[in-house]
Amino acid sequence: MEELQNKIILSSDEMPQYWYNILPDLPEPLPPPVDPSTGNPVNPSVLERIFAKECIRQEVSTQNYIPIPDEVREIYYVLGRPTPIFRARRLEKYLDTPAEIYFKREDFSPTGSHKTNTAVAQAYYLHKEGVNKVTTETGAGQWGSALSLASAFFSLETIVFMTRSSYLQKPYRRVIMELFGAKVYPSPSDQTNVGRSYLSSDPSHPGSLGIAISEALEVALGQNNAKYSLGSVLNHVLLHQTIIGLEAKRQMELIDRTPDYVVGCIGGGSNFSGIAYPFLKDRIKGSSQTRFVAVEPKAVPSTTRGKYTYDFGDSGGLTPMLKMYTVGSKFPISPIHAAGLRYHGKAPSLCLLIKNGFVENRAYHQTEAMQAGALFARLEGVIPAPETAHAIKAVIDIALEAKRKNEKKIILFNFSGHGLLDLKAYEDLLYNNLKDYEPSEELISQYISLIPKVK
Ligand SMILES: *Cc1c(COP(=O)(O)O)cnc(C)c1O
């Protein structure tokens, strides 16, 4: 029977009751967010004006395990958690590799990606703290639709700034957000000072997550009883995503496997950290040899070609500065289909783990990634999001390396989302209309040199 087992499931009462907080286990202390004008660490109380208070407590918590509120667990359950792990046997066979390939199905969420894991938690805390309006940004619309759904469950009004390139290319995710009751603007928009300044230099500016964040922040800061919610990058977001890895760890134990590789794509770093951190705990302690591979697009090579330095989280410079790998918050990001990967920086804790050698990084072009995604779709029947396709490209390379060395490696990757609303990307692949982008050394150093020095 074991030979036939293709799907590893947990029952609802096996859903984790705690999120895993990696902060106390990091190999060195995480550099705090700093205020660019003083160079001093930002007082968490300043951040509480922007985010849910509980999220900011979690942001700096030194507690290893943080209880998931019952109300949040109930909704996780409604939305399909625990999610299954599937084995990609047909892909293994096609590659003729001795490696075993497992994928965690975060596409099972009703909005199609892992993003509901933090959206539900954040909406719950905002509601509990008496906030009645939430603003945010979105790229492909994955985060915006997840937050719109969660907000609908907790009766929050939602305003979403959606990067213009996606707003035009992916109208259906806008409809999902509107269906859940959100108001959606293409970013840069005429609703904010930041948006208007970008529009004045380029009326058809494709937008970026960095610009959309600035717009959402500007609106939240300018209104009473409104707060802002971020879909990635910050510690509390990564914390909420660890439910993925905590479930996956139990699931792999059920079939008596320890992954040799844990793989995920990185936009801000939340789905990768979500699956990886609970396994990384053992690696940091020295009790496992698992390798961790984070995959980014060559068009936005934050960790592979960027600089480890303090930079703004948004393009307008409204956020505190975060110590991370970055290509500069004003870096002009090419309009690749994997909109969720179009971000100049990455989560600070993830960057620290890359710097310390615990996490390896790779970058791929969108064409090779989409080819891997298409192959996966044909073999396994599931159409990956363009973001997820980047992880799959790395998984295939690792499985082929295992074949060359004749090693029976166990590979686990996070299937962060489905691509059913990203079919334009597959159409462009099928009709040879995909473009690859690789920024020049000069462009990268130019935008890195624009990053203000912290005092
Ligand atoms: C948003 C998104 C990503 C990238 O964001 P992370 O915070 O790095 O996880 C990856 N895959 C999908 C499907 C997404 O929606």
Atom of ligand 1 nearest to the CA of 113: 13
Q: Does 69 reside within a domain?
A: no
Please give the pLDDT value at position 3. 55
Beta carbons of 82 and 108 less than 8 angstroms apart? no
CA angle 18, 22, 25 (to 5 degrees): 125
Is the Cβ–Cβ distance between 81 and 15 less than 8 Å?
yes
Q: Are residues 173 and 268 in the same domain?
A: no
Q: Which of 315, 379, 319, 326 is nearest to 355 (CA)?
A: 326
User: Rounded to an integer, what distance in angstroms lies between the CA atom of residue 322 and that of residue 42?
Assistant: 10
Q: How far apart are CA 183 and CA 161, in angstroms?
A: 9
Is the residue at 71 inside a domain?
Answer: no
3-state DSSP assignment of residue 251? helix
Query: Pocket of ligand 1, candidates 160, 387, 392: which has the most ligand atoms within 8 Å of its Cβ, to mutate?
Result: 387
Enter the tokens of residue 114: 């892992």
Same structural domain, 292 and 174: no
Distance, in Å, from the CA atom of 349 to the CA atom of 392, rounded to the nearest integer, reads 23
DSSP state letter for 34: B
Do residues 184 and 315 share a domain? no
Rounded Cα distance, 134 and 170, in Å: 22
Mutate to test the pocket of ligand 1, among 109, 271, 325, 364 (most ligand atoms within 8 A of CB): 271
Residue 126 and residue 101 share a domain: no
Residues 274 and 392 in one domain: yes
Clarify whether residues 348 and 206 are in a common domain: no
Give me the helix-helix angle, 171-179 and 142-153, nearest 10°: 10
Count of helix runs (H) and strand runs (E) in the chain: 18, 15
Closest ligand 1 atom, CA of 266?
Answer: 8
335 prior amide bond cis, ω within 30: no
- Answer yes or no: is 167 within a domain: yes
- C-alpha 315 – ligand 1 centre gap (Å): 19
* Among candidate residues 216, 233, 250, the one where a domain is terminated: 233
Last residue of a domain, one of 205, 233, 261: 233
What CATH code is carried by the domain that includes residue 164?
A: 3.40.50.1100
Task: Clarify whether residues 247 and 392 are in a common domain.
Answer: yes
Spatial separation of the C-alpha atoms in residues 300 and 360, rounded to whole Å: 16
Q: Would you call 25 helix, strand, or coil by DSSP? A: helix
* Size of the chain in residues: 455
> By alpha-carbon position, which residue is closest to atom 14 of ligand 1?
340
State which of 137, 265, 346, 383 you would mutate to test the pocket of ligand 1, scoring each by most atoms of that ligand within 8 A of its C-beta: 265
Strands of 157-163's sheet in order across = 183-187, 157-163, 133-138, 226-228
Ligand 1 centroid–CA 210 distance in Å is 15
> Does residue 348 belong to any structural domain of this protein?
yes
Backbone angles phi, psi at 372, to 5 degrees: -65, -40
Instruction: State whether 334 and 405 are in the same domain.
Output: yes
The alpha carbon of 416 and the centre of ligand 1 are apart by a number of angstroms equal to: 6
Same domain for 204 and 281?
Answer: no
- Residue nearest atom 10 in ligand 1 by C-alpha distance: 387
Closest protein CA for atom 1 of ligand 1: 340
Structure tokens at 266: 């990185």
Residue 205 sits in the same domain as residue 240: no
Torsional class of 67: left (φ above 0), alpha (ψ -120 to 50), beta (otherwise): beta
pTM over 0.85: yes
Name the domain count of the chain: 2
The alpha-helical segments, DSSP class H, found in 255-382 are 270-285, 302-305, 348-355, 366-380
* Residue 153 within a domain: yes
Residue 334: count of CB within 10 angstroms of its CB: 18
Report which of 66, 108, 62, 65 is spatially closest to residue 85, judged by C-alpha positions.
Answer: 108
Judge whether 148 lies within some domain.
Answer: yes
Is the same domain home to 53 and 189?
A: yes
Which atom of ligand 1 is closest in space to residue 385's alpha carbon?
13
Q: Which domain holds residue 441?
A: 3-15+80-112+236-449
Which protein residues touch ligand 1 with a CB less than 6 Å away? 113, 115, 142-143, 232, 265-272, 340-341, 385, 387-388, 416-417
Q: Is residue 72 part of a domain?
A: no
209 phi, psi to nearest 5 deg: -60, -35
Q: Report residue 250 as tokens.
A: 């139990």
C-alpha distances in Å from residue 158, one per residue of 47, 101, 102, 330: 20, 39, 36, 26
pLDDT lower than 70: segments of the chain: 1-4
How far is it, in rounded angstroms, from Cα 39 to Cα 20? Answer: 30
Same domain, 305 and 417: yes
Domain membership of residue 53 (yes or no) is yes
* Ligand 1 binding pocket mutation candidate from 103, 105, 113 (most atoms within 8 A of CB): 113
Q: How many angstroms separate the alpha carbon of residue 240 from the centre of ligand 1?
A: 14
Tell me the Ramachandran region of residue 251: left when phi exceeds 0, alpha when psi lies from -120 to 50, beta otherwise.
Answer: alpha
C-alpha dihedral sign at 335, 339, 341, 345: positive
Shortest-distance Cα residue to atom 15 of ligand 1: 142
> Last residue of some domain: 233, 265, 284?
233
